[in-house]
Chain A
Amino acid sequence: MRDVAVIGIGCTPFGEHWGTSFRDLFIQAGALALEDAGLSGEQIDAMYVGNMSAGRFIDQEHIGALIADYSGMATRHIPSTRVEAACASGGLSFRQAVIAVASGMEDVVVAAGVEKMTDVGTGTSVDTLAGAADREWEGFVGATFPGLYAMIATDYMHRYPLTREQLAQVAVKNHFNGARNPIAQFRQEITVETVLRSSLVADPLRLFDCSPITDGAAAVVVAPLERAREFTDRFVKVRASAQASDTISLHDRADISRLDATVAAGRWALKDAGLSHSDIDLVEVHDCFTIAEICAIEDLGFCRKGDAGRLTEEGVTALDGDLPVNTSGGLKACGHPVGATGIKQICEVVQQLRGEAGKRQVPDAVIGMTHNVGGTGATVAVHILEAI
């Protein structure tokens, strides 16, 4: 297997882009990534596109072909493949590109993610997102996606000493970071009171515990590490790529409050990279809800189960803490265009490792991790990147 490098990144602003179509979002991100890598389109050998549900959001399937066509790749006939794993579609798209390059099958590969969510009403988007869980046995009885994470929160708060205020502090911290990220959907700081005064969505989760509905696209270019210097001197090495599965339904998990796919993917990634937790300088975790960030920090092994709320309160996960978590603002403040999120996480970590994260730069960041979850934990992708 060959070592793989990320040689270019590009991300559209995240938000409600009523004036921009699905394909135009993708093209913006792809062009930014190619420009960043100093590449022209003729040098691309293959493309992967993470997308959860263009079929429901814009009535469009066959996304690989559409994207290849509108990015000018159809006339060159290079392979273009859609990757779907609900909210982990982006993370898996990146992993497929890494595998393609590592195996020697391809050399220069684009991994992208895109989601256009605001062309449908809230009811339809809530129902579409519920398809990330088990439609037959969760969605059918009225389980919404926030509702499932709310049941994780209820179970967690029953068993561990997590306060409602500590949960709110996850959102406060991520909004603080988002305020320093030019592409973030929400760029204003909030307080604990903002969260606690927002309306209940699914008890105990309130509106400000939830990531928003977002349009956006992100793209990165990967290439063999040995060739990276041909294109750029601002490349980042992929140290590990891990993916794990678990039951599609929350109710079938061995432990409602623990995402065993996160536990597995996190362990495998660290083992493959030959690293320990103390080597990780920052991590982008999948905070689709505040409780999800609490679980992620623990299930990735950064602290014992039950401690993440206290660590958040103490500022350990803040921008200037020992383990900065979600410097981008996370899904909560940066926004969550589901198929694009996993790629945006890679973009954020690459920016940090290149020292280009501006007001949210983590000093001397060398090794970063990304954690991308599909559904309530049925699919998890974990990646580790290192500055060279």
Chain B
Amino acid sequence: MKDAFIAFQRCGKHYGSHVVLEKLNASVQEGEFVTMVGTSGCGKSTFLKMLLGTETQTTGKLLFNGQPIVAEPSEDRGVVFQKYSVFPHLSVRDNVALGREFAESPLLGKLFGQKRRQALAEADQWLEAVGLAAARDKYPHELSGGMQQRLAIAQALIKHPKVLLLDEPFGALDPGIRKDMHALILKLWKENNLTIFMVTHDLQEAFYLGTRLWVFDWPQHEAQDSDQHGATITFDLPIEQRDELQASDLEFPENESPVLMEVA
């Protein structure tokens, strides 16, 4: 077996005496699309933050390409949050071009003339890819929620990250728009060789998008005093390719899903 791209080895996270996550063991290969579900407050965002580098694990190891992960956000890990991921003071184009400006202008973080035109042209390509070309001169507050998330994705992808971290990125969107976003994220994932970790509270979405589904929960016998015991990945389900399948084909009430039944 080849070395894991990302590996959690008996990883845990505590805040003081509050154990949020513990005994995380998992390895992920390049190109996987991991979807994560679990009750609210069980530590999914905390898990993403460890991957992102804004939180450091308290115990165990977190390896990225065999090395301890850099405990600070960096260009190889892009991120899209549920909201506030875009910059309100920059136009759509400038939001996307910012990543290039940071790279090419260390002192001012701003490009001028020919270099700026090149950065904007590259930004336009990414806006085209996420279907935002027509809105490139608008400001984020003029965009709908779905368009803002498209922008946040384009903004991240201009840096060609290896990993994309998504924390309930479509949680605030209408169902119809969410379907378009599913098609978009699958397309971008394939085209750009991304490894995606995505938290969602929509199990259908998790099944439809992922190649692998993780359920975060407290192991049953420890559920009583959950402050002393953290949640962990209680279920790791590979999902075979379901290209032709629509999300709506997987219809079952949230609480009666086969996975959660098995876990319970």
| A is bound by B | no
Instruction: Give residues in B with beta carbon < 8 Å to A.
Output: none
